[in-house]
Amino acid sequence: MQRHFDRDLDSLKENLARMGSLVDDQLDASCRSLFSGNIDLATVVIDGDAAINEMDNRIEKQCQSLLALNQPVAVDLRLLMAILKINRDLERMGDIAVNIAERTAALAPHREFVRSTRLEEMASIALIMVREALDAFINTYPPLATRVLESDDIVDTLNRNVFYRMVRAMQNDHRLIEACSHILILSRHLERLADHATNIAEDVIFLVEAKVVKHQTSIRPTGVTGE
């Protein structure tokens, strides 16, 4: 029996996928603006955040109605819980894109120095994690989510690497203090970005397998292997 509730859930899932795609575009553009020093592109990113905030509100409202009107249980309830949390993560990721874009102008004169750090590598891994986490949700495919969880350690290591390098750079040349401070904050943002992708991956596993894998660094879902 097809339930009209299913049609409402499909529409909600579509909106979340749309939100994911908006955020992905924003992150991609913000990183391109940063690493190429393209201030115009950075402005586009900053202006683009309003659309994400609007979608955030819309999805939250849809979830509220579906919860209030349908009293979902089991997989339906897990789906709504996952969507609420993923939506929040996506909105925060949108804010990170804006923050990256806002630092483009300050770092534009230091492009070569920025490139000498491993920030770009971090950004590229974090962006892949975001895309894979979203794909794992859209295709309800936990193996992809597991791969995202595994990538988080790489980003954490890179974050520490950037930190030590920036400390050393500042010790060696105080003229780089401002640029290094921006890079430290960016590194922290990219690390958070990877954390948000990890949260989404954990929500996908919770949704599909009804298992809580967050806060259990050594525990990974059984029966699920990376590709």
Partner 1 sequence: MTTDAITKIETDGLNLFYGEKKALDAISIAMPEHQVTALIGPSGCGKSTFLRSLNRMNDLIAGVRIDGNVFIDGTNIYLKNVDVVELRKHVGMIFQKSNPFPKSIYENVAYGPRINGESNKKALDDLVETSLQRAALWDEVKDDLKKSALALSGGQQQRLCIARALAVNPDILLMDEPASALDPIATAKIEELIYELKVNYTIVIVTHNMQQAARVSDYTAFFYLGQLIEFGETKKMFTTPEVKQTEDYITGRFG
Site size toward partner 1 (CB under 8 A) is 11
| Best CA proximity match to 196, nearest among 94, 75, 67, 121 | 94
Q: Does 141 bind partner 1 (CB under 8 A)?
A: no
Q: Which of 3, 111, 115, 160 binds partner 1 (CB under 8 A)?
A: 3
Site pattern 157..196 for partner 1 (x: CB under 8 A): ----------------------------------------
Of 3 and 168, nearer to partner 1 (C-beta) is: 3
Residue number with CB closer to partner 1 (50 or 77): 77
Paired tokens of 93: 């990721």
Contact of 27 with 193, CB cutoff 8 Å: yes
Compare residues 68 and 74 and give the one whose CB is closer to partner 1. Answer: 68
* DSSP letter string, 96-163: HHHHHHHTHHHHGGGHHHHHHSSHHHHHHHHHHHHHHHHHHHHTT-HHHHHHHHHHHHHHHHHHHHHH
Nearer to partner 1, 73 or 223 (CB): 73
Is the distance from CB of 114 to CB of 34 less than 8 angstroms? yes
Contacts to partner 1 from residues 47-76, by CB under 8 A? 64-65, 68-71
Phi, psi torsion values for 122, nearest 5 degrees: -60, -45
Q: Are 211 and 146 in contact (CB under 8 A)?
A: no
Task: Report, in Å, the least distance between residue 52 CB and partner 1.
Answer: 23
Least CB distance from residue 160 to partner 1, whole Å? 45
Question: Which residues make up the interface to partner 1 (CB under 8 A)?
Answer: 1-5, 64-65, 68-71
